Structure 1
Amino acid sequence: MSPRDLLRNPCWQGEDLGHPLPDSTHAVSVALPRWRDVIAYEDNDPQCRSQLRAFYPRFALHPLVAEVAQQALAMLPTEMCSAGSSAWPYPNAAAAQLAQHHCQSQAPGASTQIVDQLGLSVLIANADASPHAKAFWQHAGLGASSRRAAISLNKEAAPAAASAEQAKALVIERLAAIYGCDTQQLSLHPSGMAALHTALQSVTALRPGRPTLQIGFPYVDVLKLPQVVFAGSELLLDSSSAAIEAALDRIDPAAVIVELPSNPLLQCMDLSTLSRLAHARGIPVIADDTIGSCLNIDPLPYADLIFSSLTKSFAGRGDVLAGALVVSPSSPWEQTFRDQRSRTGCIGLGDADAMALEQGSRDVQARVPQLNRHAQALAAQLSNHPEVARVYYPDQCANFRNLLRPNGGHGCLLSFELKGGSDQAQAVYDRLAVCKGPSLGTPFTLVCPYVLLAHYDELPWAKACGVPSHLLRVSVGLEQPEELWQRFERALSASSH
Structure 2
Amino acid sequence: MSVFSPIPLGQRIPGSPHSVACSLPTMRDVIGYEEGRPETTRHIASGYPRFVVHTHAKRLCEYLGRRPELAGKSLWLVTSARMAASFAHYLGRTDQAAARPFSVEGLDGVAHIDTPELNARGKVYLQNIGGFLSSRAAEDHLVRLGLLPAVAPEKLFAGDAVAEIRRVLRGPFPVADADLLLAPSGMNALYAAFRAISTVQARAGRTAWVQLGWLYLDSIALLRKFTPDPARDYLRHGDVTDLAGLEKLLATHGPRLAGLIIEAPTNPLIQTADIAAVTALARRHGAKVILDPAVSSPFNVDLLPHADLVATSLTKYTAHEGDVIAGAVVVNATRPDAAELRGLVGAQLEPVHARDLARLAAQIDATSGVVARINASTRQVAAFLESHPAVEKVWWALQPATRASYLKIARTPESAGSMISFTLKGPLAKFYDAVRLPKGPSFGMTTTLISPFIYLAHYDLVTSEAGRAELAAHGLSPDLLRLSVGTEPVDAIIAALSEALD
Q: TM-score, normalised by structure 1?
A: 0.90
Q: Decide whether the 8 Å contact of 2:195 with 2:348 is kept in 1.
A: no
Partner Cα distance (1:275, 1:339) in 2: 23
Partner Cα distance (2:151, 2:454) in 1: 39
Distance 1:244 1:110, change over 3 A: farther
**Residue 200 of structure 2 aligns with which residue?**
206
CA deviations over 1:337-380 (Å, ceiling 9, x no partner): 113235x3531211010011111212001110110111111000
**Residue 229 of structure 1 aligns with which residue?**
226
Partner Cα distance (2:105, 2:152) in 1: 13
Structure 2 counterpart of 1:450, one-letter code: F
Structure 2 counterpart of 1:278, one-letter code: A
Shift of 1:474: 0.3
**Residue 414 of structure 1 aligns with which residue?**
420
**Residue 32 of structure 2 aligns with which residue?**
40
- Structure 1, 204-213 or 185-194: larger mean CA deviation: 204-213
Q: What are the within-5 Å matches in structure 2 for residues 83-162 of structure 1?
A: 85-104=73-92, 106-126=93-113, 127=115, 129-154=118-143, 155=148, 156=150
Partner Cα distance (1:241, 1:336) in 2: 30
Partner Cα distance (1:125, 1:250) in 2: 43
CA deviations over 1:441-464 (Å, ceiling 9, x no partner): 111110000000000001212233
**Residue 398 of structure 1 aligns with which residue?**
404
CA deviations over 1:412-440 (Å, ceiling 9, x no partner): 000111112xx2x2111111111001111
Distance 1:108 1:207, change over 3 A: farther
Shift of 1:76: 3.7
State whether structure 2 residue 55 is matched by structure 1 residue 58.
Answer: no
Q: Decide whether the 8 Å contact of 1:168 with 1:358 is kept in 2.
A: yes
**Equivalent position SS for 2:365:** helix
**Residue 247 of structure 1 aligns with which residue?**
249
Q: Decide whether the 8 Å contact of 1:118 with 1:152 is kept in 2.
A: no
Structure 2 counterpart of 1:8, one-letter code: V
Partner Cα distance (1:450, 1:72) in 2: 36
Q: What are the within-5 Å matches in structure 2 for residues 3-18 of structure 1?
A: 8-12=3-7, 16-18=8-10
Partner Cα distance (1:148, 1:339) in 2: 26
**Residue 64 of structure 2 aligns with which residue?**
72
Q: Decide whether the 8 Å contact of 2:188 with 2:349 is kept in 1.
A: no
Structure 2 counterpart of 1:95, one-letter code: M
Q: What are the within-5 Å matches in structure 2 for residues 156-235 of structure 1?
A: 156=150, 166-208=160-202, 210-231=207-228, 232=230, 233-235=234-236
Distance 1:433 1:70, change over 3 A: same
Structure 1 counterpart of 2:119, one-letter code: S
Structure 2 counterpart of 1:249, one-letter code: A
Q: Could you list the runs of 5+ residues in structure 1 that have no partner in the other structure?
A: 1-6
**Equivalent position SS for 1:188:** strand
Q: Decide whether the 8 Å contact of 1:102 with 1:132 is kept in 2.
A: no
**Residue 465 of structure 2 aligns with which residue?**
none
Partner Cα distance (1:211, 1:118) in 2: 42
Q: TM-score, normalised by structure 2?
A: 0.90
Distance 1:486 1:341, change over 3 A: closer
Shift of 1:394: 0.8
State whether structure 2 residue 442 is matched by structure 1 residue 448.
Answer: no
Structure 2 counterpart of 1:352, one-letter code: R
Distance 1:114 1:228, change over 3 A: same
Partner Cα distance (2:331, 2:74) in 1: 36
Structure 2 counterpart of 1:178, one-letter code: P
Structure 1 counterpart of 2:377, one-letter code: H
Shift of 1:411: 0.3
CA-atom RMSD in angstroms: 2.1
Partner Cα distance (2:213, 2:159) in 1: 38
**Residue 3 of structure 1 aligns with which residue?**
none
Q: What are the within-5 Å matches in structure 2 for residues 277-356 of structure 1?
A: 277-342=281-346, 344=347, 346-356=349-359
Matched-pair identity in % = 30
Q: Decide whether the 8 Å contact of 2:17 with 2:152 is kept in 1.
A: no
**Equivalent position SS for 1:301:** helix
How many residues of Structure 1 are paired with residues of Structure 2 in the alignment? 473
Q: Decide whether the 8 Å contact of 1:112 with 1:129 is kept in 2.
A: no
CA deviations over 1:82-131 (Å, ceiling 9, x no partner): 5xx42110132122122223223x42535211222442201112236433
Partner Cα distance (1:125, 1:215) in 2: 37
Shift of 1:9: 4.1
Partner Cα distance (1:109, 1:100) in 2: 9
Partner Cα distance (1:477, 1:400) in 2: 21
Partner Cα distance (1:483, 1:157) in 2: 35
Q: Decide whether the 8 Å contact of 2:196 with 2:348 is kept in 1.
A: no
**Equivalent position SS for 1:147:** helix
Q: Decide whether the 8 Å contact of 1:11 with 1:19 is kept in 2.
A: no
**Equivalent position SS for 1:254:** strand
Q: Decide whether the 8 Å contact of 2:13 with 2:21 is kept in 1.
A: yes
**Residue 373 of structure 1 aligns with which residue?**
376
CA deviations over 1:230-255 (Å, ceiling 9, x no partner): 43333220332222123223443321
Q: What are the within-5 Å matches in structure 2 for residues 424-463 of structure 1?
A: 425-459=428-462, 460=468, 461-463=470-472
Q: Decide whether the 8 Å contact of 2:376 with 2:414 is kept in 1.
A: no
Q: Could you list the runs of 5+ residues in structure 2 that have no partner in the other structure?
A: 463-467
